[in-house]
Chains A and B, each alone.
Chain A
Amino acid sequence: MRSTPAAAWMMVALLAAGAPAHAAKAKPKAKPAATTPSAAPAGALTPARFAVARHTLPNGLVILLHEDHAVPAVTFWQWYRVGSRNEAPGITGISHFFEHMMFNGSKNVPPKEYDRIIESNGGNSNAFTDRDMTAYYEDIASDRLEVLLRVDSDRMRELLLAPELLKSEIEVVKEERRLRTDNDISGMLDESLYATAFMASPYRWPVVGWMGDLNRLQRSELVDYFRTYYAPNNCILVLTGDFDSAPALALIQKYFGDIPSQTPPKPPIDSEPDQRGERRAQVRYPAENESFQIGYKAPNAKSEDSWVLDVLSSILGDGESSRLHQSLVYEKQLALDASTFFRQRIDPTLFEFAVEMKPGKPSREGEAALDGVLDQLLKEGPTARELEKAKNLLEADLVKSLKTNNGVGEQLGFYEHVYGDYRTLYEAIGRYRKVTLEDCKRVARATFVPERRTVVELVPTPEQEAKP
């Protein structure tokens, strides 16, 4: 994240640090334009009711348009197909550093001008970086769309990367790392989990980058990275909200149409070998309560099984009625919190569990209880009612993700990028609805295998009292 200064005190760990943010992956969906008399029932997500137009410019730029005239504002998302998976040892964190530098000056928009222009037009902007993507957005009044197109095309065309700003902004990023990882227990565990679970996958390094790499990044590396990844043929634009498609498309063409395409970047190489045994790591740090995270190897978004894993994540970890909460928090009263995290990703990833123990309760008891929950699921599968509940929760989550233009744009960008086709969103609810009890058992048995898991444990060290 680029941060939200005023709200920083309420922020939980977000995408940038790779920390779990949602129990289930967010999925998009949509809602009929304001002219439609009544909203579609959940589940009736069809191209007719939720119209999206997809265009590709000759330079390779993909454009998704969805009109919704409910509020006199638009959201403009720019999804660049680059994230920490595109990095290499030595330049980890460079994708996220770009997320910051994209606001720090381009050819015709001097440093500090980008934000000044957006805010003086009543808009706001922000961005996030994850392993698979870097995504930027602005919300602004409908009649200011052209303002966005001007400044956003300028930074795609030619980013300044001024040396003095690189120097001050990397310090900002290092503070972000200190905030979310170096001084945050779940951030520390998360970083250690991925670094331990993966040997060859680019998912092994943290999105924010290693501190040593942040200290050594060179401007020349940034220049190369920009040319490779910030090209129109590596970007998806998503415009949602109160606009008319034909003139809006013409404006986008006017500003973005002549930006030259680049040789498509080489896809990152994922040579991750099969895991042949449990891996364990420890983090020693002053803390009150023990805690741990577990990651089981899980398939990527192309796998049909990933839909089943969303369902399993809901059954195991969504809310107080979930199996984990019922066992670890409610019945055994071992844990303060027990949750799952699974996000659909481009490369094979992890299905994660995170547990914070109650004071005085050892992690090993929490691990044993978690194993018990999984054993039972593997043996018996979920109940029919649990499966139905999970489907209802996933469907409702989809609807709720579409409350704002911003949310609609985020979902469209996510599907277009991660699944390669925004139309997957029309199928999402149906895919969940199709999952059977047998699917749940089969995928749980294939996934929750001790040999394919990594456990990272916080070992609290004593806290020092202040000297009087």
Chain B
Amino acid sequence: MGRWRTELAGWTLVLSLVLAAPSLGGTLQIPPATRAKLGNGLQVIVVPTTRLPLVDFRLVARAGSVNDPAGKEGLSALTADLMTQGAAGRDARTIAEDIAFVGGTLDASSGAEQIVVTCEVLRKDFATGLELFRDVIVSPTFPAAEFERKRDEALGAIASARNDPGTVANQALGPFLLGSSPLAHPLSGWEKSVRAITREDVVAFHGQMLRPDNALLAVVGDVDPKTTITALEKAFGGWKKSGEKWPDAYQAVPQIKGRKVLIVNKPEVTQTQIRLSCVGVPRNHPDFFPIVVANTILGAGFTSRLVNEVRVNQGLTYSIGSRFGMYRNAGTFSINTFTRNETIRKTIDAALTTEKKLVDEGPSEEELAKARSYLTGQYPLGLQAPDALAAQMLNVDFFGLDPNYLQTYQEKISAVSMTDVRRALKSYFCVDDLRVLVVSNPDLAKKQLEGLGTIEVRNPE
């Protein structure tokens, strides 16, 4: 996806982004982005920024835990983890040593629908960085001993995660809300599914998914675009395109109906993690901007309705927020918080009452103006660092957003009207159809949760 101005190894200046910021005194100049499509179909963006002598490489492959085969959940994460553990002529130790020696970082990790490889080096180490970055993407060797070790570590990490109440909550929420969708399971998979993964699975997954025509690449930093694209063509020229069409691994998830309650058993905690959730929207939804503004009013920043009522007025929690998790084909909405075990119901009621009031009555004009100013003011701050800018630019293409998304973000936020926000609140912010999840001591939680819906108690997976 994405609109690439040049084909093959050509390069050209495409646009100079000037962000006119309605709430700002000045304008943020993003240096011109140079886009190219390499001979093998790999789409690249180069953005020179000279503020610091750093170079950031970022590759996003359209692959993730949504592509995990049933029964082998965790495959994408394990594959990404193994990409840095042996590649081309280097073993795991040499890769780690060589990138550290130049003070750089090299990382590969999987998300739900992106495998992201990043490398950050000082400008003088461009060549070393590019070679390592390329090798772990194109030529990982997946040595058998490293496979055994990393799978073992993945199992240990799954066990370890059961000790963190927030992680337990987040991981249990997926299946509770999304059922059997490929989006539902944790990135790490389950103990049983990770045990079922073989080295051959990893090799096949990499071979199928990590292909130039299934990936996007950005280089942001103290570089010259022309020589950088030449260097990329040279480095990645031998990476073979697949020519395949990758079908969507998952579809939209139907909205839930009614209320259900899940208590995940954690008898030792003195504080209960709470998630109030329903199905949300995909990332490129036409109501994206109204949703972002409405969600800011409900549950982002320090002056949101939820923070004001649940934290400031009632002192029930240290942190409360609402968020939309947005993916290519589906999404989630959740209110996330925690409170001491004695005030679980009070906190849930306060959060839902606050949400319902906002949905029913809408925000004040002042709140709407504040949310728009906050979002437009924050926006340039998130683009300061070269690695952050690289991530933002690739997301535009990954999600198929308006190619002028970065330039027009502030304008579009500023254009969100009261009507838009009220419509978004009524359409996407669930109150009655809800999944209520707590991680707690069931003996204390059950009584408090009575009347909210059918209650199920489970152990952490």
The residues of A with any CB-CB pair to B shorter than 8 Å are 3-9, 31, 34, 38-42, 68, 70-73, 103, 112, 115-116, 118-125, 139-144, 167-176, 178-179, 182-185, 242, 285-289, 318-322, 325-326, 329-330, 333, 336, 356, 358-359, 385, 388-389, 392-397, 399-400, 402-406, 463-468
Q: CA of A325 to CA of B304 in the docked complex: distance in angstroms? A: 43
Q: Decide if A70 touches B442 in the complex (CB within 8 Å).
A: no
User: A172–B315 Cα gap in the complex (Å)?
Assistant: 5
- For the residues of B in contact with A, the DSSP-based class is mixed
Q: Identify the stretch in B211-219, B334-342, B398-406 within 8 Å (CB) of chain A at 4 or more residues.
A: B334-342
CA distance A395 to B378 in the complex (A): 29
B166 touches A403 (CB 8 A): no
B54: CB under 8 A from chain A? yes
Closest 9 CB pairs of A and B: A122-B377, A143-B25, A396-B103, A72-B26, A171-B315, A466-B265, A168-B315, A320-B96, A8-B319
Indicate if the CB atoms of A183 and B165 lie closer than 8 Å. Answer: yes
**B318 on the A face (CB < 8 A):** yes
- B 374-387 to A, binary, CB cutoff 8 A, 1 in contact else 0: 10111011011111
Question: Do residues A6 and B53 form an inter-chain contact, with CB atoms below 8 A?
Answer: no
Q: Is B71 an interface residue (CB 8 A)?
A: no
B16 within 8 A of A: no
Q: Cα distance A320–B92 when bound, in Å?
A: 9
A residues within 8 A CB of B457?
A: 466-468
Q: Which residue of A72, A112, A172 contacts B318 across the interface (Cβ within 8 Å)?
A: A172
Beyond A72-B24, A359-B159, whether A333 also contacts B380 by CB under 8 A is no
The reply to whether A121 and B314 form a contact with Cβ atoms under 8 Å apart is: no
Please tell me the number of chain B residues within 8 Å of chain A, measured between CB atoms. 93
Which listed residue (A182, A336, A399) contacts B271, Cβ 8 A? Answer: A182
Which chain A residues border B376 with CB–CB below 8 Å?
122
A307 to B267, CA, bound (A): 45
Q: How far is the CB of A321 from chain B (nearest CB, A)?
A: 4
Q: Which of B108-116, B295-303, B415-423, B428-436 contacts A (4 or more CB under 8 A)?
A: B295-303
B321 contacts A72, C-beta separation under 8 Å = no
- CA of A39 to CA of B53 in the docked complex: distance in angstroms? 6
| Set of chain B residues within 8 Å of A121, measured between Cβ atoms | 23, 373, 377
Residues of A within 8 A of B312 (CB): 112, 168
- Once the chains bind, are B458 and A466 in contact (CB under 8 Å)? yes
Complex alpha-carbon distance, A171 and B342, angstroms: 13
Could you list 10 A-B pairs, sorted by A, with CB under 8 Å? Answer: A6-B301, A31-B52, A72-B28, A112-B308, A122-B23, A178-B270, A183-B165, A287-B163, A389-B101, A464-B268
The listed residue with most A CB atoms (<10 A of its CB), out of B23, B170, B307, B336, is: B23
Q: A179-B338, A288-B162, A336-B160 are in contact. Are A403 and B385 (CB under 8 A)?
A: yes
| CB-based contact A71/B156 at 8 Å | no
CB neighbours (8 Å) of A385 from chain B are 101
Q: Quick one: closest B residue to A38, CB to CB?
A: B50
Question: Is the beta-carbon distance between A359 and B97 smaller than 8 angstroms?
Answer: no
Task: Tell whether, in the assembled complex, residue A178 and residue B315 are in contact, meaning their CB atoms are under 8 Å apart.
Answer: no
Contact B384 A392 (CB under 8 A): no
**Told that A399-B54, A405-B384, A406-B381 touch, could you supply 17 new A-B pairs with CB distance under 8 A?**
A6-B300, A6-B301, A40-B53, A41-B124, A112-B303, A119-B302, A141-B21, A175-B318, A179-B318, A183-B269, A320-B92, A320-B93, A330-B93, A358-B152, A385-B101, A389-B101, A466-B442
Among B157, B299, B320, B370, point to the contact of A119 (Cβ < 8 A). B370
CB distance from B128 to the nearest CB of A (A): 11
- A41 contacts which chain B residues (CB < 8 A)? 53, 123-124
Task: Let me know if B104 is at the binding interface, CB within 8 A.
Answer: yes
| A396 adjacent to B122 (CB under 8 Å) | yes
B271:A179 contact, CB within 8 angstroms: yes
Are A399 and B442 in contact (CB-based, < 8 A)?
Answer: no
Residues of B within 8 A of A124 (CB): 301, 374, 377-378, 381
Question: Chain B nearest CB: distance from A429 CB in Å?
Answer: 11
- Contact between A139 and B321, CB atoms less than 8 A apart: no
Chain A residues near B370 (CB-CB < 8 A): 116, 119-120
Q: Which residues of B contact A173 (CB under 8 A)?
A: 318
Q: Are B122 and A6 in contact (CB under 8 A)?
A: no
Contact of A120 among B53, B271, B306, B369 (CB under 8 A): B369
* A174 / chain B contacts, CB cutoff of 8 Å: 340
Q: CA separation between A392 and B125, bound complex, in Å? A: 11
| Complex Cα–Cα for A119 and B322 (A) | 17
* Contact in complex: A395, B103 (CB < 8 Å): yes
Separation of A8 and B120 alpha carbons in the complex (Å):
26
Beyond A119-B370, A141-B21, is A42–B53 a contact (Cβ under 8 Å)?
yes
Q: Mark B316-351, 1 if CB is under 8 A from A, else 0.
A: 111111110000000000001011100000000000
Chain A residues closer than 8 Å to B442, beta-carbon distance: 466-467
Considering the chains assembled together, what is the distance between the CA atoms of A123 and B101 in angstroms? 39
Quick check: B380 and A73 within 8 Å, CB to CB? yes
Chain A: CB-nearest residue to B336: A9
Decide if B25 touches A5 in the complex (CB within 8 Å): no
With an 8 A cutoff between CB atoms, is B102 at the interface? Answer: yes
> When the two chains form their complex, are residues A330 and B92 in contact, meaning their CB atoms are under 8 A apart?
yes
Q: Does B164 contact A (CB under 8 A)?
A: yes
Given contacts A71-B381, A175-B318, A404-B384, contact A321 B96 (CB under 8 A): yes
Q: Complex Cα distance A41/B122, Å?
A: 9
Whether the Cβ atoms of A119 and B301 lie closer than 8 Å is yes
Given A5-B301, A71-B380, A72-B21: A388 and B101 within 8 A (CB)?
yes
In the complex, the answer to whether B381 meets A5 with C-beta atoms within 8 Å is: no
Q: How far is the CA of A174 from the CA of B338 in the complex (A)?
A: 12
Closest residue to B271 on the A side, CB-wise? A178
